[in-house]
Structure 1
Amino acid sequence: MIRLFVGLGNPGPEYEQTRHNAGFWWLDALARELKINLTADKSYHGLVARSSVNGQSVWLLAPQTFMNASGKSVAALANFFKIPAQEILVAHDDLDIVPGEAKLKLGGSHAGHNGLRDIHAQLGTDQYWRLRLGIGHPGNKAEVLHWVLKKPSLDHRIAIDQTIDRTLKALPQFLLGDMEQATRLVHTSKPLRPSKPKPAPTPASPPAPSDT
C-alpha cells in the first residue's frame, strides 16, 4: 500500500496559485478527503499529517524546502518511519501532459523536474510512484520557467482541479496497494478540449424596397 503521499510545490503566497504547485493542490484535496489537517513539522521540513487506515499509519507531506530541495523533506520522513520507496507516491506537475489528464507510473527518469531530481538523489532510487498532473507546455523551452511559475488560465485551472477530483477516486486502491487498478482509474482522466467557437449569427436580410 501507499504509506506516504507527497505533494510537490513551492511555499509562500506568491507561489500558491502557480502551475508548479499542482502537487500541493492535490495533497490539499487528499487531506480534505481524509478529513485531516496538515501542520508544520520542522523534523521533516514540511507540512505533515497522519491518518490511520486499517491500523496502518498513512502520512501526507508537503515539503516546505522549495522545489529544488524536495528530497530533503521526503527522505527525512521516509527514513525515520522506514517507508520503502515503493510505498511512496509523489504528486507533481508535468509539462508533457495536457491539463485535464494525469498519468501514474513507478520509477523512471525525473525528466528534468527538479523536485523529482532531488528526491531521486536523497532516496538513492527512482523506484517510487509518481502521479503526473498535466499542466501543459508553453511550446517554447525558453519559456518553461516563466510558465510553471505563472498562474494557469481559468480553463486550465478548472481542468487540473477536475483531474485532481478524478484521480482521488483511486484512493481506495492506493491504500490497498492495488496499483494496477489505481493506474486504470487515473488514466481515465480526459484532457482539456478547446471549445469550438460559436458561429457568428447570420445578419438579418434588409427589408424589400416598397413599390409606393
Structure 2
Amino acid sequence: MNNIKIIVGLGNNIDNKFIGTRHNMGAKYVINLAKKFNLKFKKNKKFYGYTSNLILLNQKIILFLPNSFINNSGKSIFIISNFYKITLQNILVIHDDLDFLPGIIKFKYGGSSGGHNGINNIIKIFKSTLFYRLRIGIGHPKNKIEINNFVLSKPTKIEQKNINFAIKNGIRALLIFIKKNYNQAVTFLHTKK
C-alpha cells in the first residue's frame, strides 16, 4: 500500500487548441485513467483546475488537471496540496518527456527536471525535488531550436499509437504502485515490451 494522494496530469490545459499535443500527454494520461473508472472531471475555481476523485482500496486519490499553461503548473498544485494538507511526497506528477521515444514510459522519484518547464516550476514553488513522476516518452526533434514547436504540435499517427500503448501500460503500472508498491511498478514497466 502506498501513500499517493494526488495524481496530477501536466499539460497546457487552459486552451483547447493544445489538446492532443505532445506537451499534453500527462493530462491525456490522467483523463484516460478517469475514463477507465468512469469518472468525470469538474472545474474547481478554488484550485485553478479540474478535479475528480478516484477511490481505490478504500483510499481517496484526487485526480487533478491544472487549468494553466504547463510552465505555471506549480501554483495550482501548491494551492490544492495546501488545502488538503498533502505533502509533495504524496503527489504523483505525470508529464511528457523528450528523452524517451514514444512508447516508453518510466517512473522517477526526485532528481532534476530534465529541462521540463512544468517540473521546473513545481520544484521552484515547492522548493523540493522529492516527488514521484511518471514520464511519457514523446521523442525529440533533430534540432534543439525546434523543441517549442515540436512539443506544441501533435504526434504522428504511429507516435500516437505508441504513446497510447505506453499510457495503457502506465495505468497498469500505476495500479500496481497503488495496490502493492513503487518498486514492483517500476519493475513492471522495465520488463514490459
- Give TM class, smaller chain: over 0.9
> How far, CA to CA, are the matches of 1:9 and 1:110 in structure 2?
15
> Equivalences for 1:168-179 in 2 at 5 Å?
168-176=171-179, 178-179=181-182
* 1:192-211 paired onto structure 2 within 5 Å: none
- Structure of higher CA gyration radius: 1
Contact 1:163–1:189 (8 Å) recurs in 2? no
Partner of 1:137: 140
What's the counterpart of residue 209 of structure 1? none
Residue 82 (structure 1) aligns with: 85
Map of 1:21 onto structure 2: 24
- 2:105·2:166 contact (CA, 8 Å) conserved in 1? yes
Q: C-alpha displacement at 1:186, in angstroms?
A: 2.4
Structure 1 counterpart of 2:7, from 5, 8, 14: 5
Distance 1:173 1:99 in 2: 22
Unaligned runs of 5+ in 2: none
Instruction: Report the counterpart of residue 205 of structure 1 in structure 2.
Output: none
Amino acid corresponding to residue 7 of structure 2 in structure 1: F
Contact 2:44 2:50 in 1 (8 A): yes
**Cα distance in structure 1, aligned partners of 2:161 and 2:192:** 13
Say how many residue pairs are matched: 190
Letter in 2 for 1:75: F
Deviation at residue 189 of structure 1 after TM alignment: 4.4
* Separation in 2, partners of 1:151, 1:189: 25
Per the alignment, in what secondary structure is the counterpart of residue 77 of structure 1? helix
Distance 2:39 2:184 in 1: 25
For the aligned residues, what is the CA RMSD? 1.3
CA contact (8 A) 1:100 1:189 kept: no
Contact 1:71–1:122 (CA under 8 A) maintained in structure 2: yes
Letter of the 1:113 partner, please give it: H
Alignment partners' CA distance in 2, 1:98 and 1:53? 31
Structure 1: how far apart are the matches of 2:84 and 2:189?
A: 27
Q: Which residue identity does 1:26 align to in structure 2? A: Y
- Give the TM-score of the pair, scaled to structure 2: 0.93
Contact 2:57/2:179 (<8 A) preserved: no
Aligned to 1:38: 41
Q: CA deviation at 1:14?
A: 1.0
Q: Is the 8 A contact 2:73 2:118 kept in 1?
A: yes
Matches within 5 A, 1:121-160: 121-160=124-163
Structure with the bigger percentage of helix: 2
For structure 1, list consecutive stretches of 5 or more residues without a partner in the other structure.
191-212
Aligned: 1:188 with 2:191? yes
Structure 1 contact 102–189 (Cα < 8 Å) conserved: no
Q: Which amino acid aligns with 1:25?
A: K
Match of 1:53 among 53, 56, 72: 56
Aligned-partner Cα distance in 1 for 2:126–2:17: 29
Does the 8 Å contact 1:167/1:185 carry over to 2? no
* Partner Cα separation in structure 2 for residue 34 and residue 122 of structure 1: 31
